[in-house]
Structure 1
């Protein structure tokens, strides 16, 4: 298995929480998710939190691609958002992988 390193800030922070692990395995996407951190505040707060998490993740991907010489960060971020919106509107495949989700 090719696992990613834990970020140094997460190692330093005793209150750090891992929210997601994502793999491509057996020809499908498999996830382990931690959800419900904001559930006590209602579904709107929980979905808003995931909106921020996913948007920040897209920004990190754009940053990494830009650092690897694939283009300007802003252009890459816009392309990711556009591609995301296209995929939401017309999925290219259905979810087939498993999910191990746990609420807090």
Structure 2
């Protein structure tokens, strides 16, 4: 198992919340999500996830630029194209269950 490190800001902030954890295991994607947090704060949950994912795409693009010299804007374009293609015609189904437990 090869987990990522917890970001220093999350370690410092006693109010930090993990909202997404994603793994490739047994040749498939597995993830846990904290659904409802933004709704409980009176925000539009799908829109808030969109903002969160957009920020995540920017972080990925910046990392690709730093590590591999690929321009961030080119990476964002490629990621968005792949995202739209995958949503329109999935290479595999998204299966699993949602647990309503709270932590």
Q: TM-score range by the shorter chain?
A: 0.7 to 0.9
- Structure 2 match to 1:53: 52
Count residues in correspondence.
101
- Structure 1 match to 2:6: 6
Q: Deviations over 1:16-71 (max 9, x none)?
A: 100011011112111111110122436xx000110011111111111111111241
TM-score (normalizing by structure 1) = 0.85
Indicate the structure whose relative CO is greater, using CA pairs within 8 Å and at least 6 residues apart.
1
Q: Deviations over 1:62-84 (max 9, x none)?
A: 11111112410111111111111
Cα distance in 1 for residues equivalent to 2:90 and 2:60: 20
TM-score (normalizing by structure 2) = 0.86
Cα distance in 1 for residues equivalent to 2:52 and 2:37: 12
1:95 CA displacement: 2.1
**8 Å Cα contact 1:22/1:29 also seen in 2:** yes
- Point out where structure 1 has 5 or more consecutive residues left out of the alignment: none
What value does the CA root-mean-square deviation take over the aligned residues?
A: 1.9
The structure in which a higher percent of residues are strand is 1
- Point out where structure 2 has 5 or more consecutive residues left out of the alignment: none
